[in-house]
Amino acid sequence: MSSSEDVARRVWQEGKAQVTRQVGTAARRQGWKARKSAWLLLPVAGLPWVGFGYLAAKARRPQWAGAAALHLGVSAGAVSALVAGDWWTVLGVLLAGGGWGAGVVHGLAANPRWLRTAAALSPSPSAPWLPPLSGSSSPSSSSDLLGPSGVSGAELPGDPAARAALHQMHLEQLVDVAARAGTALPAGVLPLAREIHDAALPMLARAAGRGRPMGALDLYEVEAVVGEHLPAALGRYLALPPGYVPDTVADGPTPEQALLAQLRSMVELLAEVTERVHEHDARELRVQAAFLGEKVRRSDLDL
Protein backbone atom coordinates (compact mmCIF):
# COMPACT_ATOMS: atom_id res chain seq x y z
CA MET A 1 0.00 0.00 0.00
CA SER A 2 1.39 3.42 -0.95
CA SER A 3 2.17 6.12 1.59
CA SER A 4 -0.63 8.31 0.22
CA GLU A 5 -3.11 5.51 0.81
CA ASP A 6 -1.79 5.09 4.36
CA VAL A 7 -2.25 8.79 5.01
CA ALA A 8 -5.76 8.73 3.55
CA ARG A 9 -6.68 5.71 5.66
CA ARG A 10 -5.37 7.35 8.85
CA VAL A 11 -7.21 10.58 8.08
CA TRP A 12 -10.42 8.64 7.49
CA GLN A 13 -10.00 6.69 10.74
CA GLU A 14 -9.28 9.85 12.74
CA GLY A 15 -12.27 11.59 11.19
CA LYS A 16 -14.49 8.62 11.96
CA ALA A 17 -13.28 8.55 15.57
CA GLN A 18 -13.92 12.28 15.93
CA VAL A 19 -17.45 11.96 14.53
CA THR A 20 -18.15 9.00 16.83
CA ARG A 21 -16.90 10.99 19.79
CA GLN A 22 -19.07 14.00 18.94
CA VAL A 23 -22.15 11.83 18.37
CA GLY A 24 -21.60 10.06 21.67
CA THR A 25 -21.18 13.37 23.46
CA ALA A 26 -24.38 14.73 21.95
CA ALA A 27 -26.28 11.59 22.93
CA ARG A 28 -25.09 11.77 26.53
CA ARG A 29 -25.88 15.47 26.70
CA GLN A 30 -29.40 14.96 25.38
CA GLY A 31 -29.91 12.05 27.76
CA TRP A 32 -28.94 14.24 30.71
CA LYS A 33 -31.31 16.98 29.56
CA ALA A 34 -34.14 14.49 29.20
CA ARG A 35 -33.59 13.14 32.72
CA LYS A 36 -33.43 16.61 34.24
CA SER A 37 -36.53 17.70 32.29
CA ALA A 38 -38.63 14.77 33.51
CA TRP A 39 -40.16 17.02 36.17
CA LEU A 40 -42.28 18.58 33.38
CA LEU A 41 -44.49 15.50 33.57
CA LEU A 42 -45.86 16.89 36.84
CA PRO A 43 -47.38 20.06 35.29
CA VAL A 44 -48.69 17.95 32.41
CA ALA A 45 -50.36 15.70 34.99
CA GLY A 46 -51.99 18.74 36.59
CA LEU A 47 -49.56 18.98 39.49
CA PRO A 48 -47.50 22.10 38.71
CA TRP A 49 -47.15 23.01 42.38
CA VAL A 50 -45.40 19.69 43.02
CA GLY A 51 -43.02 20.29 40.11
CA PHE A 52 -42.09 23.81 41.17
CA GLY A 53 -41.82 22.67 44.76
CA TYR A 54 -39.30 20.08 43.60
CA LEU A 55 -37.29 22.75 41.76
CA ALA A 56 -37.38 25.04 44.78
CA ALA A 57 -36.13 22.27 47.05
CA LYS A 58 -33.31 21.29 44.69
CA ALA A 59 -32.17 24.76 43.65
CA ARG A 60 -33.18 26.63 46.82
CA ARG A 61 -34.72 29.45 44.79
CA PRO A 62 -37.52 31.40 46.55
CA GLN A 63 -39.15 32.40 43.25
CA TRP A 64 -39.86 28.77 42.42
CA ALA A 65 -41.29 28.24 45.89
CA GLY A 66 -43.56 31.23 45.24
CA ALA A 67 -44.60 29.74 41.90
CA ALA A 68 -45.44 26.47 43.64
CA ALA A 69 -47.61 28.33 46.16
CA LEU A 70 -49.35 30.27 43.37
CA HIS A 71 -50.18 27.14 41.37
CA LEU A 72 -51.33 25.39 44.54
CA GLY A 73 -53.66 28.31 45.27
CA VAL A 74 -55.14 28.20 41.77
CA SER A 75 -55.67 24.44 41.98
CA ALA A 76 -57.22 24.72 45.44
CA GLY A 77 -59.55 27.46 44.19
CA ALA A 78 -60.60 25.33 41.22
CA VAL A 79 -61.36 22.36 43.46
CA SER A 80 -63.32 24.54 45.89
CA ALA A 81 -65.39 26.01 43.06
CA LEU A 82 -66.14 22.59 41.60
CA VAL A 83 -67.23 21.29 44.99
CA ALA A 84 -69.48 24.32 45.60
CA GLY A 85 -71.65 23.42 42.60
CA ASP A 86 -74.18 25.63 40.78
CA TRP A 87 -72.59 28.39 38.74
CA TRP A 88 -69.36 27.96 40.68
CA THR A 89 -68.83 24.79 38.67
CA VAL A 90 -68.28 26.82 35.51
CA LEU A 91 -65.72 28.97 37.31
CA GLY A 92 -64.06 25.83 38.67
CA VAL A 93 -63.76 24.33 35.20
CA LEU A 94 -62.28 27.55 33.85
CA LEU A 95 -59.83 27.77 36.74
CA ALA A 96 -58.83 24.12 36.36
CA GLY A 97 -58.30 24.38 32.60
CA GLY A 98 -56.54 27.71 32.80
CA GLY A 99 -54.41 26.55 35.71
CA TRP A 100 -53.38 23.41 33.83
CA GLY A 101 -52.38 25.39 30.74
CA ALA A 102 -50.58 28.02 32.79
CA GLY A 103 -48.71 25.30 34.68
CA VAL A 104 -47.52 23.62 31.49
CA VAL A 105 -46.46 26.90 29.86
CA HIS A 106 -44.76 28.09 33.05
CA GLY A 107 -42.92 24.77 33.33
CA LEU A 108 -41.66 24.95 29.75
CA ALA A 109 -40.50 28.52 30.32
CA ALA A 110 -38.72 27.65 33.58
CA ASN A 111 -37.03 24.47 32.34
CA PRO A 112 -34.06 26.12 30.54
CA ARG A 113 -33.18 28.02 33.70
CA TRP A 114 -33.54 24.82 35.72
CA LEU A 115 -31.16 23.00 33.36
CA ARG A 116 -28.57 25.76 33.78
CA THR A 117 -29.01 25.61 37.54
CA ALA A 118 -28.73 21.82 37.58
CA ALA A 119 -25.54 22.02 35.53
CA ALA A 120 -24.08 24.60 37.91
CA LEU A 121 -24.90 22.36 40.88
CA SER A 122 -23.24 19.32 39.30
CA PRO A 123 -19.58 18.43 39.99
CA SER A 124 -18.73 19.22 36.34
CA PRO A 125 -20.73 22.26 35.15
CA SER A 126 -19.10 22.12 31.71
CA ALA A 127 -20.15 18.48 31.30
CA PRO A 128 -22.88 17.70 33.85
CA TRP A 129 -23.71 14.41 32.11
CA LEU A 130 -20.41 12.98 33.39
CA PRO A 131 -20.15 11.24 36.77
CA PRO A 132 -18.20 13.04 39.51
CA LEU A 133 -14.51 13.04 38.75
CA SER A 134 -12.86 11.37 41.71
CA GLY A 135 -9.60 12.97 42.67
CA SER A 136 -10.59 16.41 41.42
CA SER A 137 -10.71 19.42 43.62
CA SER A 138 -12.20 22.83 43.29
CA PRO A 139 -10.01 25.93 43.47
CA SER A 140 -11.37 26.63 46.93
CA SER A 141 -10.24 23.27 48.22
CA SER A 142 -7.11 22.58 46.22
CA SER A 143 -5.26 21.43 49.30
CA ASP A 144 -7.79 18.66 49.90
CA LEU A 145 -7.04 16.49 46.91
CA LEU A 146 -8.49 13.01 46.82
CA GLY A 147 -6.72 9.89 45.80
CA PRO A 148 -7.93 7.19 43.45
CA SER A 149 -11.63 6.48 43.43
CA GLY A 150 -12.30 9.20 45.96
CA VAL A 151 -10.04 7.69 48.61
CA SER A 152 -8.02 10.19 50.56
CA GLY A 153 -4.27 9.89 50.62
CA ALA A 154 -4.33 8.79 54.25
CA GLU A 155 -6.58 5.85 53.34
CA LEU A 156 -4.51 4.55 50.43
CA PRO A 157 -3.03 1.08 50.93
CA GLY A 158 0.34 1.10 52.63
CA ASP A 159 1.63 -1.71 50.43
CA PRO A 160 3.27 -0.15 47.33
CA ALA A 161 2.05 -2.97 45.10
CA ALA A 162 -1.57 -2.60 46.22
CA ARG A 163 -1.35 1.17 45.96
CA ALA A 164 0.07 0.95 42.44
CA ALA A 165 -2.70 -1.43 41.39
CA LEU A 166 -5.28 1.05 42.69
CA HIS A 167 -3.61 3.86 40.77
CA GLN A 168 -3.68 1.74 37.61
CA MET A 169 -7.44 1.39 37.90
CA HIS A 170 -7.81 5.10 38.60
CA LEU A 171 -5.70 5.97 35.56
CA GLU A 172 -7.99 3.95 33.30
CA GLN A 173 -11.00 5.76 34.78
CA LEU A 174 -9.44 9.18 34.18
CA VAL A 175 -8.74 8.45 30.52
CA ASP A 176 -12.29 7.17 30.17
CA VAL A 177 -13.64 10.39 31.69
CA ALA A 178 -11.53 12.46 29.29
CA ALA A 179 -12.84 10.41 26.36
CA ARG A 180 -16.49 10.68 27.42
CA ALA A 181 -16.25 14.40 28.17
CA GLY A 182 -16.28 15.04 24.43
CA THR A 183 -16.40 18.71 23.49
CA ALA A 184 -16.48 19.76 27.16
CA LEU A 185 -12.69 19.40 27.12
CA PRO A 186 -10.30 20.99 24.60
CA ALA A 187 -9.44 18.85 21.59
CA GLY A 188 -5.84 18.34 22.69
CA VAL A 189 -6.69 16.96 26.13
CA LEU A 190 -7.54 13.38 25.17
CA PRO A 191 -4.29 12.71 23.23
CA LEU A 192 -2.26 14.11 26.13
CA ALA A 193 -4.26 12.08 28.65
CA ARG A 194 -3.50 8.97 26.62
CA GLU A 195 0.20 9.89 26.54
CA ILE A 196 0.13 10.17 30.32
CA HIS A 197 -1.64 6.82 30.47
CA ASP A 198 0.88 5.12 28.19
CA ALA A 199 3.82 6.54 30.14
CA ALA A 200 2.51 5.90 33.65
CA LEU A 201 0.99 2.46 33.14
CA PRO A 202 4.28 0.53 32.68
CA MET A 203 5.73 2.21 35.77
CA LEU A 204 2.67 1.36 37.85
CA ALA A 205 2.74 -2.20 36.51
CA ARG A 206 6.32 -2.54 37.73
CA ALA A 207 5.38 -1.21 41.14
CA ALA A 208 2.42 -3.60 41.28
CA GLY A 209 4.81 -6.53 41.01
CA ARG A 210 4.66 -7.17 37.27
CA GLY A 211 8.28 -6.42 36.54
CA ARG A 212 11.39 -5.09 38.21
CA PRO A 213 10.82 -2.84 41.23
CA MET A 214 11.45 0.88 40.94
CA GLY A 215 12.75 3.56 43.26
CA ALA A 216 10.47 5.08 45.87
CA LEU A 217 11.00 8.63 44.57
CA ASP A 218 10.21 7.65 40.98
CA LEU A 219 7.09 5.79 42.10
CA TYR A 220 6.01 8.77 44.19
CA GLU A 221 6.20 11.10 41.19
CA VAL A 222 4.18 8.72 39.01
CA GLU A 223 1.54 8.30 41.72
CA ALA A 224 1.40 12.07 42.23
CA VAL A 225 0.59 12.57 38.55
CA VAL A 226 -2.09 9.88 38.49
CA GLY A 227 -3.57 10.41 41.94
CA GLU A 228 -3.37 14.20 42.26
CA HIS A 229 -2.21 16.31 39.33
CA LEU A 230 -4.21 14.75 36.48
CA PRO A 231 -7.59 14.47 38.26
CA ALA A 232 -7.16 17.93 39.78
CA ALA A 233 -6.42 19.52 36.40
CA LEU A 234 -9.38 17.85 34.69
CA GLY A 235 -11.69 18.49 37.61
CA ARG A 236 -10.87 22.19 37.85
CA TYR A 237 -11.42 22.70 34.13
CA LEU A 238 -14.72 20.80 34.10
CA ALA A 239 -15.87 22.84 37.10
CA LEU A 240 -15.74 26.02 35.00
CA PRO A 241 -18.90 27.18 33.20
CA PRO A 242 -18.85 26.44 29.44
CA GLY A 243 -16.86 29.04 27.53
CA TYR A 244 -15.67 30.81 30.68
CA VAL A 245 -12.90 33.36 30.11
CA PRO A 246 -11.59 35.21 33.20
CA ASP A 247 -11.09 38.97 33.21
CA THR A 248 -7.36 38.46 33.79
CA VAL A 249 -6.88 36.41 30.62
CA ALA A 250 -4.91 39.26 29.03
CA ASP A 251 -2.23 38.82 31.71
CA GLY A 252 -1.94 35.06 31.42
CA PRO A 253 -3.10 31.88 29.71
CA THR A 254 -6.73 31.01 29.16
CA PRO A 255 -8.16 28.06 31.12
CA GLU A 256 -7.76 25.91 28.01
CA GLN A 257 -4.11 26.89 27.61
CA ALA A 258 -3.44 26.36 31.31
CA LEU A 259 -4.96 22.88 31.21
CA LEU A 260 -2.98 21.84 28.15
CA ALA A 261 0.22 23.26 29.67
CA GLN A 262 -0.33 21.22 32.83
CA LEU A 263 -0.88 18.04 30.86
CA ARG A 264 2.25 18.63 28.79
CA SER A 265 4.22 19.15 32.00
CA MET A 266 2.92 15.81 33.28
CA VAL A 267 3.98 14.11 30.06
CA GLU A 268 7.46 15.61 30.38
CA LEU A 269 7.72 14.63 34.05
CA LEU A 270 6.77 11.03 33.29
CA ALA A 271 9.28 10.96 30.43
CA GLU A 272 12.00 12.04 32.86
CA VAL A 273 10.95 9.38 35.36
CA THR A 274 10.94 6.73 32.64
CA GLU A 275 14.41 7.77 31.52
CA ARG A 276 15.74 7.59 35.08
CA VAL A 277 14.24 4.14 35.59
CA HIS A 278 15.73 2.87 32.33
CA GLU A 279 19.12 4.36 33.18
CA HIS A 280 18.99 2.60 36.54
CA ASP A 281 18.13 -0.69 34.85
CA ALA A 282 20.98 -0.28 32.38
CA ARG A 283 23.42 0.57 35.17
CA GLU A 284 22.39 -2.51 37.13
CA LEU A 285 22.80 -4.61 34.01
CA ARG A 286 26.34 -3.32 33.52
CA VAL A 287 27.20 -3.94 37.17
CA GLN A 288 25.81 -7.47 36.95
CA ALA A 289 27.77 -8.14 33.77
CA ALA A 290 30.98 -6.88 35.38
CA PHE A 291 30.35 -8.99 38.47
CA LEU A 292 29.76 -12.16 36.46
CA GLY A 293 32.79 -11.45 34.29
CA GLU A 294 35.00 -11.04 37.35
CA LYS A 295 33.58 -14.21 38.85
CA VAL A 296 34.33 -16.19 35.69
CA ARG A 297 37.90 -14.86 35.59
CA ARG A 298 38.47 -15.90 39.20
CA SER A 299 37.16 -19.37 38.42
CA ASP A 300 39.61 -19.66 35.54
CA LEU A 301 42.50 -18.68 37.82
CA ASP A 302 41.47 -21.26 40.40
CA LEU A 303 41.66 -23.94 37.75
Cα gap 270→176, rounded to integer Å: 20
Mean pLDDT by 10-residue block, N- to C-terminus, for the chain (303 residues)?
Answer: 55 52 59 86 91 89 90 86 78 84 91 82 60 45 39 52 80 85 84 91 80 74 87 85 64 82 92 87 82 72 57
Give the number of other CB atoms < 10 A from CB of residue 40.
18
Cα gap 116→107, rounded to integer Å: 14
Cα gap 267→209, rounded to integer Å: 23
Cα gap 23→6, rounded to integer Å: 26
Q: Given this model, what pLDDT does residue 106 score?
A: 92
Nearest to 227 by CA among 156, 288, 298, 301: 156
Q: Given this model, what pLDDT does residue 105 score?
A: 93
Q: Given this model, what pLDDT does residue 266 score?
A: 92
For residue 91, how many C-alpha atoms fall within 13 Å in the half-sphere facing its CB? 12
Cα gap 303→298, rounded to integer Å: 9
Q: Given this model, what pLDDT does residue 149 score?
A: 43
